[in-house]
Amino acid sequence: MNEVVVLTPERILEVTEDVLRRFGLAKATVVDVARALDVSHGSVYRHFPSKASLRQAVAKRWLDRVNAPLQKVADTSGPAPARLERWLRTMFAIKHKKVSEDPEMFATYLTLAREACEVVKAHKDGLVDQIAHILSDGVNQGVFQVSDPKASARAIFDATIRFHHPAHADEWSDPQHAARIDAVLALLLRGLEAPRKR
């Protein structure tokens, strides 16, 4: 007796990633995804009403995987300066790893992310919220002097963009790259410090 595999959105997205890896973004179609799942393309469309919605869901799934370890760092307790530095270094490391380990898929996801503007905006806003949460903790701990955590979080995100935005990926193999990260993070953390009470 053959086991019936239930077609779920998650299963469709898993197979879509495989199809993208094999055929590339330009050639991968919903029909290819359906064929790989051994279902009709109508079955895929029941879960994702258009090719665009399927692509957006794939981009969101990828960005959610980037987000998960960062959320963990943001949610931990402990001194805010160390958490902020760990959060930023984790974000840089995740992006750098994706570029070096799977450059073709990284390029595919970069294109998908450009198409899924709302998904990307929500992702970035979520990351800024995580930084703001750490900054607020730092203010409560008396170690950061920040009047507007959200605005400061956005500034930190923007100030470090060359270390995490895919447009700068070509720079990440530069031998001076790690030293530049160290210098920028040291400057940022010093700038956030609350004055010491005498």
Per-residue confidence in pLDDT tens, the chain, 198 aa:
444 457 899 999 999 888 888 888 877 889 899 999 999 989 999 999 988 888 888 888 888 888 999 999 999 999 999 999 999 999 999 989 888 887 777 777 777 777 777 888 899 999 999 999 999 999 999 999 999 999 999 999 999 999 998 888 889 999 999 999 999 999 999 999 998 765
pTM: 0.85
State the span(s) of the chain assigned CATH 1.10.357.10: 52-192
Q: What is the pLDDT of residue 198?
A: 57
CB atoms within 10 A of CB 133: 19
Coil, strand or helix at 144: strand
Instruction: Please tell me the distance from the alpha carbon of residue 162 to that of residue 168, in angstroms, as a whole number.
Output: 6
State the span(s) of the chain assigned CATH 1.10.10.60: 1-49
Q: Which residue type sits at 85?
A: E
Q: What is the pLDDT of residue 197?
A: 67
Asked if residue 163 lies in contact with residue 184, where contact means CB atoms within 8 angstroms, the answer is: yes
CATH topology of domain 1-49: Arc Repressor Mutant, subunit A (1.10.10)
Asked if residue 115 lies in contact with residue 55, where contact means CB atoms within 8 angstroms, the answer is: yes
Angle at 136 (CA atoms; ends 133, 140), nearest 5 degrees:
140
Angle at 124 (CA atoms; ends 62, 181), nearest 5 degrees:
95
DSSP state of 164: T
What sections of the chain are H helices per DSSP? 9-23, 30-37, 41-47, 51-75, 80-101, 103-115, 117-141, 149-159, 177-192
Classify the phi-psi angles of 9: left when phi > 0, otherwise alpha if psi is within -120 to 50, otherwise beta: alpha
- Of 21, 15, 49, the residue nearest 35 (C-alpha): 15
Kindly provide the b/e burial profile for residues 183-195, where b requires at least 16 CB atoms within 10 angstroms of the residue's own CB: ebbeebbeebeee
Asked if residue 133 lies in contact with residue 74, where contact means CB atoms within 8 angstroms, the answer is: yes
Angle at 74 (CA atoms; ends 135, 113), nearest 5 degrees:
105
Domain 52-192: what homologous superfamily? Answer: Tetracycline Repressor, domain 2 (1.10.357.10)
